[in-house]
Amino acid sequence: MRQAFGLGLLIFTAIGVVLAQQQPYQPTPTERQVIQVKAVELASRVSTLRKGSADQRLLADVEIHHKAAEWILRYPEEFYRADYVKHTLDSLDIGLERAAELARGKHPWTSRKGRLARGYRSRIDGSVQPYALLIPDSYDGSRPMRLDVILHGRNSRLTEAWFIATHTSGEPLPAAQNYIQLEVFGRLNNAYRWAGETDVWEAIAAVERDYKIDPDRIVLRGFSMGGAGAFHMGLHHPSRWAAVEAGAGFTDTIRYAGLPNLPEYQRQALRIYDADDYALNAFNVPLVGYGGDDDPQILAANNVRQQLMREGFHFEPDGLNWTTKDLRAVFLSAPRTPHRFNPDSKAESNAFMDPIVKKGRVVPDHIRFVTYTLRYADSFWVEVEGLGKHYERAEVDARRNKEGSLVRSVTVKTRNITMFALRDLGAATKIEVDGQAVQFPPGLTAMPARVLFAKDADRWRAVNTFDSPGHRGLRKKPGLQGPIDDAFREGFLCARPTGQPAQPAVHAYAVDAAARFEREHAKWLRGDPPFKTDADVNEQDIQNNHLVLFGDPQSNLILKRIQDQLPIQWTREAIRVGGKTYDAKQHVLTLIYPNPLNPERYVVVNSGHTFHEAEFRGTNALLFPRLGDYAILRIQDGQEPEVVEAGFFDENWQLPTSP
């Protein structure tokens, strides 16, 4: 199978449309100088605070204002309008004020009400990222408060300075608002995928650290691209939310982005993020879907509702809305409404959600959960630990059977699952899985807090560890299941080669790939990827990070150390993939694999994200994996490399029998 690696697709849709850009504003020399002078001053104060006794977590609240200036000076095309100069200067002034206060041991903004911007340092790349808060007057820290997490829509003119400016000014909060509102930056416009998804979790964690939040009353809301994100994060993580409201957006890549002819390994990867595949998880999370009657993006909500109907749930039309008694779900629409949230529908959504949220998230005794990947593997007290086939539908239907308030037995039905765990089983003495009574390990005198179940030769049994017969050795598991792009949602470190390369063309490709990743991650994901030379990578780096190695086994010292432990052999002369051989002069290997030096972290070879600038500029639906777990690329002078083979490793991180 041959496929051009850089698809370069530009899909013109209501979310991802690439508008005819007006010329950006050109700051005057005086304006640029004023920004630079203040940025230098703030950088100096940050440096002093970092070396001193200042709380390093609070320092991020200062650093976001320097970053707002640094990034817009780095990318001057982001001065989209003249007022972006004011946004930048205003942000710098706030940063300078906070730096002065922090130097005095003060941080009054942490107790401020109303609108404010704060920041955190990301575990992904060490960058500081902003988030915004609306703190109601009623918050006093004496009792846990509801938190509404807001995912913004696509904004082709979004910058840190604009984000901070628009969330530190505006109308006062409504007097009746009795919850904290978190506005997520999301590392720009990526539909809350990859690093954008991690940004949501890190922003929530930052808020929970500094404010008293009720974990059972966290609401997820989004519209447009934010609606796509809310469908995605709500249905992939059903146990995290008290309720989810998703308006417009997209839930299906092939139809939305118009990509009917993808190779099979790319079609499989769509099952990571396509939210309608996960519709069944609405069984355990209250859901509002919305789309205006004149909005093409009503298709997102329709996709999810129609899939729920295929799952066997009954919906009745109520005007333009759809209601059901089978689930805590409603799908709303509004007449003659284009791409916006109609106020009447918003009121209906609030009327549906508010009593549910007031009651709070409830841990259910009956869980129905579907997934296609171990990246999304848990729902309340059920944790999926192994799949028969990745990117194929896997299900758990689990019931805790009670007498009064005590759990007495548990019944589980599975599909395409080889290992799972159950938690919080209480006084249960009987476990039945797929019709089999499960025997517990000898010597077990009391039900542990967490019980692991493994399937061996079609028989289920409880096991003490993951190292059970049939499951020993390297295997895919949650957070270590690929594909290549998965490495860049957690902490990673890139290693440049210092050795003598075997093939000049391959070395040139590796150097270019590293530079491309560095450039694209900074611009589109708002953080500089951390780099070292291969010789400078130390044991702590190996233990704490996914390693991203550029070069070949001769030029990259770390790749040379681990090459014999990878499932694909790469010598000076050839790359061998199963029974196939590729000339090493013209081909380069990319892959993701558990790092042989630390199997709890990935090693990635010769790749950053497998989508690129054209996809970042286009619709967010294009940000899906292009190469799976591994690929062989044929190098072509002056052209994008050609994919000659690509696919996924099996559940034991080995080449499949039939690539």
pLDDT (tens digit, 9 = 90+) per residue, 503-524?
999 999 999 999 999 999 999 9
Structure tokens at 358: 């007031």
Report the run of H or E that residue 375 belongs to, with start and end.
none
Q: What is the pLDDT of residue 471?
A: 52
Report the pLDDT value the prediction gives residue 446, as an integer from 0 to 100.
65
Residue 211 is given by DSSP the state S
Q: Are strands 145-151 and 213-223 parallel, antiparallel or unpaired?
A: parallel
pLDDT in tens, 336-388: 999 999 999 999 999 999 999 999 999 999 999 999 999 999 999 999 999 99
Burial 7-24 (b: 16+ CB within 10 A, else e): bebebebbbbeeeeeeeb
Q: What pLDDT is attached to residue 62?
A: 98
CA distance 607 to 500: 20
pLDDT reported for residue 11: 33
Give the global pTM. Answer: 0.95
CATH class of 484-647: alpha beta
Classify burial at 170, counting beta carbons within 10 Å of its beta carbon; exposed 0-12, middle 13-18, buried 19 or more. Answer: exposed
The structural domains of the chain, with segments of one domain joined by +, span 224-241+248-361, 391-463, 484-647
- Cα 582–chain centre separation: 34
In this prediction, residue 20 carries a pLDDT of 38
Model pLDDT, residue 638? 80
List the chain residues with pLDDT less than 50. 1-20, 659
Segment (H or E) for 238: none
Q: Which of 112, 99, 190 is nearest to 151 (CA)?
A: 190
Query: Which DSSP category does 529 fall into?
Result: P
Report the pLDDT value the prediction gives residue 109, as an integer from 0 to 100. 98
DSSP 478-495: TTB---GGGGGGS-EEEE
DSSP state, residue 336: T
Core vs surface per residue 190-222: b (16+ CB within 10 A) or e: bbbbbbbbbbbebbbebbbebbebbeebbbbbb
Rounded distance between C-alpha atoms, residue 102 and residue 88, angstroms: 21
